[in-house]
């Protein structure tokens, strides 16, 4: 059974390194990781952490209102497709709603765009390149009801 919990920034680092930074010489510690408004979610299976994601109070100029940025979404290869990513996003949507947040946005890798669409995100604007990492879309999900 999958268990979701709030974790510390430091607990996200091994999975970030393995999944998001393999052959990518960019920092695995993000600016804002330790901010008081940042939170990190993890999913474990049989007490092993298998998925992580981070949520930061960062604005994107393309959106109005209160915003959070999703960063570092990753599930270990052997555990993909079991609902860990979805579980973290559902939990984040509910927490962010409670905080009065209007939009959750992210820079989505092309390979993850359809995953985010399934969870209700939409793309915004044109595809763009993040050096070394590759092509991305800005994606967003409206959290508030109005
Ligand atoms: C993208 C990622 C986080 C998805 O995590 P996951 O735990 O496998 O996702 P889930 O099992 O919760 O999937 C939820 C749904 O999305 C689907 N899905 C998962 N990854 C998908 C993908 N890349 N493309 C399309 N659909 C996808 C699943 O099949 C599932 O569909 P269902 O609800 O109809 O059964 C994972 O594939 C990953 O770590 N990828 C590599 C790192 C990465 O690209 N991160 C995103 C950076 S922006």
Q: Give which of 35, 39, 37 is closest to 8, Cα–Cα.
A: 39
Atom of ligand 1 nearest to the CA of 82: 11
User: Could you read off the pLDDT of 62-97 as tens digits, one per residue?
Assistant: 999 999 999 999 999 999 999 999 999 999 999 999
In this predicted structure, what is the pLDDT of residue 41?
99
DSSP-assigned beta bridge partners for residue 124: 138
Mean pLDDT of 28-38: 98
Q: Is 2 in the pocket of ligand 1 (CB under 6 A)?
A: no
β-pairing, 67-75 vs 103-109, is parallel
Please determine, for residue 6, whether its predicted confidence score (pLDDT) is greater than 80: yes
Query: Chain-wide mean pLDDT for the chain?
Result: 97
Residue 72 Cα to ligand 1 midpoint, Å, equals 13
In this predicted structure, what is the pLDDT of residue 145?
85
Distance between CA 28 and CA 17 in Å, rounded? 6
Q: Is 78 in the pocket of ligand 1 (CB under 6 A)?
A: no
Domain ranges of the chain: 2-142
Superfamily of structural domain 2-142: Gcn5-related N-acetyltransferase (GNAT) (3.40.630.30)
Please determine, for residue 146, whether its predicted confidence score (pLDDT) is greater than 70: no
pTM above 0.95, yes or no: yes
DSSP-assigned beta bridge partners for residue 45: 2, 48
């Amino acid at each position: 059974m999958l268990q979701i919990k709030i974790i510390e920034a430091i607990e996200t680092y091994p999975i970030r390194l393995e999944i998001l930074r393999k052959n990518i010489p960019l920092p695995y510690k993000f600016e804002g990781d330790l901010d008081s408004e940042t939170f990190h979610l993890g999913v474990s299976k049989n007490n092993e952490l298998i998925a992580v994601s981070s949520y930061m109070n960062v604005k994107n100029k393309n959106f109005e209102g209160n915003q959070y940025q999703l960063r570092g979404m990753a599930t270990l290869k052997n555990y993909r497709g079991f609902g860990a990513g979805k579980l973290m996003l559902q939990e984040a949507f509910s927490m962010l709603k409670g905080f009065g947040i209007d939009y959750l946005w992210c820079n989505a890798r092309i390979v993850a765009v359809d995953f985010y669409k399934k969870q209700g995100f939409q793309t915004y604007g044109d595809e763009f390149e993040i050096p070394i990492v590759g092509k991305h879309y800005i994606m967003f999900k409206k959290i508030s009801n109005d």
